[in-house]
A and B are shown apart, each in its own frame.
Chain A
Amino acid sequence: MESIKITVGLGSCGIAAGAGKVFDEIVRIKEADNLKFDLAKTSCIGMCFREPLVEIKDETGSYLYGDVDVKKIDEIIEKHIVNFSPIKEYIVKSDQFDTPYKEYFDAQVKITLRNCGNIDPEHITEYENRQGYKAIRKITSEKTPPEDVIKSVLDSGIRGRGGAGFSTGMKWNFARNSKSDEKYVVCNADEGDPGAFMDRSVLEGDPHSVLEGMIICAYAIGATHGYIYCRAEYPLAVKRLNLAINQAREKKYLGNNLFGIEGFNFDIIVKEGAGAFVCGEETALMASIEGQRGMPRKRPPFPAVKGLWKKPTNINNVETYANIPWIILNGPAAYSQYGKEKNRGTKVFALTGKIKNGGLVEVPMGITIRDIIYKLGGGIINDKKFKAVQLGGPSGGCIPEYLADTSIDYESVTATGAIMGSGGMVVMDETTCMVDVARFFLDFTQKESCGKCTFCRIGTKRMLEILTRITQGEGKEEDIPALEELAQQIKDATLCGLGNSAPNPVLTTLKYFRNEYEAHIRDKKCPSLYCKKLLTYEVIPDKCTGCVVCKRGCPVGAIDGDKKIVHFIHQELCTKCGDCYSKCKFDAIKIS
């Protein structure tokens, strides 16, 4: 019994699902029954759809339990730990037998997430025990010239995982070639895309891999200072980063004359964002670190030439840095064996929306959207019809079902009108209204526009007004051409990525779901039955029992009827609030 280890997944998702209470319960049982086992914490394991997750490792193997709550953990400990009999139906992964999730795990290649869910992120030794800080030790002890480090990164073929997909090696080269007394390494951890949480999981689950990636970058380009710009909405990530930085300082991985190299000085500071989506744009991010309003500025000069405090700056995303130590240690060829052509390595996606297995998956580049949704995602919730997938957040677009065999690589995704983006993948089914989705994203970009460029500031607002009107049944024929014209003007006349890409959700839905726009405008109907103003509520006479519940509840008195007499909704009075529909116990209200 001595060799039993129980690990609880305590990432943000797990905690929200109640993992903290499960952990406390395990402590309580352990003390009350005087049981002997090791209890450990880890972060996100990736299977968010089965959180809270608890792993038990004993002499016979490892067993991952899903959907654990306080009651279940009692049963699990009783049967598994005390009586040595694992409860198979609760187990989602084991090295002893196959579970229904075999395909989910087999299709993944974990490089970025190599440690997430396997280590306690709050202890540096756990990272070190899994080859942590070995890559930087290797290049410093072998005195690898910085140019060769950059060449390795270049040869691996890794491209910026923040979304734009610029070659990381080339970026480092530009920063190396800029002459200056001071250079900066910045990590963009301002993960603002709604529906994306890959970076959060890496920061919470494996912060040291990001630090090591940044240290290697500092070595390669000759930087002395590092900043991690992290969203304030990620309190746990900020806490664990600061903890990791302090531990790294104690171990002399950060500080002066690092790894025995005279003059290799590098330290990292965490800067908390203050809630502005536009700060994910690199020039706005730097303005924010400098303490100003986060407004983008014109490029060139690029940050590699004139960046933070006007010094050469290399800026990469969390995921990119987390890959670097692995590439250095295993060689560029090991990384580039995954993927195809110009798209090498792996990419982490946050699968959300109407999908069965929502969570994080890391897959080789070049996999198809269909494989991700059906092999890894397990298909659509309630087996409804898959309609579209949204890639790239507010800057991206919707890819329809018939293009689901599109390969996931920067070029193919861009060709559809969407963008690869940071990795948010929101799955939509037949009940999602595409006009409303476009309206939703425009609402977001309109609020988040910094206001500097007129076309972004006012153009997005006009587009939002038009879209809102369409979803409320007041659309006009000329609205579609007006949207297209505005979209083009905004794309042409704005400075930064936010403005350039803001019309994408509208353009892609217009391209693939034009019929939905037309149904809203011409027929005043929402084909997905989502836009409330366009619905009609009717009583199904055969089902109505005449219980008067809807009549009493109707706020405008639009329902006629008496006890045991079939009710009737007066359409001219109905305000389409949906109250009758949600209150009816007999499913006697029909929406059309």
Chain B
Amino acid sequence: MRIARIKPEAVNPDKRTDVDLSLIDSVIERYKGKKGNLIPLLQGAQTTYGYIPKEVFDKIALETGLKKNDLYGVATFYAQFRLSPVGKVVVRVCHGTACHVQNATVITEDLQNFLNVKDGETTEDRLFTLESVACLGCCSLAPCMMIGEETFGKLNGKKAVDIVKSIKRKESLDNKPNQAKPELWKA
């Protein structure tokens, strides 16, 4: 069922107080008073913070007049919204039909073992979050996973772990910003 029961402490496990509330001002400004604005407001908040902090719910409710009840109702209904921060790298393993019949389960299992987290959890160093998603729409490359915006296809458990390993190595070696080649095809 799509209703996630929120435990009080899960709403804000970090007890973070360093949320910069001014970052959300432009989003609120843009959607305030418009009909059908609730989902875009939450999507804006999530894009800004990576998740929706409790304080931001309060602020949106206060400034737009939307009910906090409705905000939480919507935020817990849709799979996209997160109520707690995620790791720096989100690993999304596809579990669509095509991937499932090509053994996507093994990929998730191997990644769980390697990262020592369960599905949906974040590693202790806050580097990786492991997620299962319904379908990435790259069925002809099944089984596949998405890391950041990059999709990796034709995987098996070992290949998937190797990819995550190499990212982990890169992250631990240099915390310098990635000097990747410019991607011309995106222009």
Q: A192 vs B36: C-alpha distance in the bound complex, in angstroms?
A: 22
Whether B96 lies near A194 (C-beta < 8 A) is yes
Q: Which of B1, B70, B133 has the most CB of A within 10 A?
A: B1
Whether B141 lies near A16 (C-beta < 8 A) is yes
Q: A447 vs B42: C-alpha distance in the bound complex, in angstroms?
A: 22
With both beta carbons as reference points, the residue of chain A lying nearest to B138 in the complex is identified as A16
Q: Which of A48, A195, A197, A444 has the most CB of B within 10 A?
A: A195
Chain A residues lying within 8 Å of B37, measured Cβ to Cβ, are 291
Chain A residues lying within 8 Å of B3, measured Cβ to Cβ, are 451
Interface string of A10-25 (1 = CB under 8 A from B): 1011011101100110
Whether A27 lies near B184 (C-beta < 8 A) is yes
Among listed A213-221, A346-354, A411-419, A482-490, interface-contacting one: A346-354
Chain B residues lying within 8 Å of A424, measured Cβ to Cβ, are 97
Q: A570 vs B113: C-alpha distance in the bound complex, in angstroms?
A: 25
Whether B74 lies near A292 (C-beta < 8 A) is yes
Q: A457 vs B42: C-alpha distance in the bound complex, in angstroms?
A: 26
CB distance from A104 to the nearest CB of B (A): 14
Among listed A53-61, A269-277, A508-516, interface-contacting one: A269-277
Chain B residues lying within 8 Å of A235, measured Cβ to Cβ, are 149
Interface residues on A, range: 35 or more
Chain B residues lying within 8 Å of A49, measured Cβ to Cβ, are 140
Whether B2 lies near A447 (C-beta < 8 A) is yes
Whether B153 lies near A17 (C-beta < 8 A) is yes
Whether B73 lies near A293 (C-beta < 8 A) is yes
Q: A80 vs B148: C-alpha distance in the bound complex, in angstroms?
A: 36
Whether B135 lies near A275 (C-beta < 8 A) is no
Q: Which of B36, B79, B95, B101 contacts A275 (CB 8 A)?
A: B79
Q: A353 vs B151: C-alpha distance in the bound complex, in angstroms?
A: 18
Whether B80 lies near A350 (C-beta < 8 A) is no
Q: A274 vs B73: C-alpha distance in the bound complex, in angstroms?
A: 13
Interface string of A182-194 (1 = CB under 8 A from B): 0000000001111
Interface string of A421-457 (1 = CB under 8 A from B): 0001010100010000100110010111111000001
Chain A residues lying within 8 Å of B77, measured Cβ to Cβ, are 276, 293-294, 450
Chain B residues lying within 8 Å of A196, measured Cβ to Cβ, are 135, 137, 139
Whether B135 lies near A194 (C-beta < 8 A) is yes
Given A15-B151, A24-B185, A194-B134, A393 contacting B2 (CB threshold 8 A): no
Whether A276 lies near B2 (C-beta < 8 A) is yes
Q: Is A288 in contact with chain B by the CB < 8 A criterion?
A: yes
Given A24-B183, A353-B97, A274 contacting B35 (CB threshold 8 A): no
Whether A352 lies near B152 (C-beta < 8 A) is no
Q: A457 vs B2: C-alpha distance in the bound complex, in angstroms?
A: 9
Q: A288 vs B80: C-alpha distance in the bound complex, in angstroms?
A: 13
With both beta carbons as reference points, the residue of chain A lying nearest to B98 in the complex is identified as A352
12 more A-B residue pairs beyond the given contacts A48-B141, A277-B134, A353-B139, with a C-beta to C-beta distance below 8 A? A16-B150, A194-B95, A195-B139, A197-B135, A234-B137, A272-B39, A274-B81, A276-B2, A288-B39, A292-B70, A426-B139, A428-B101
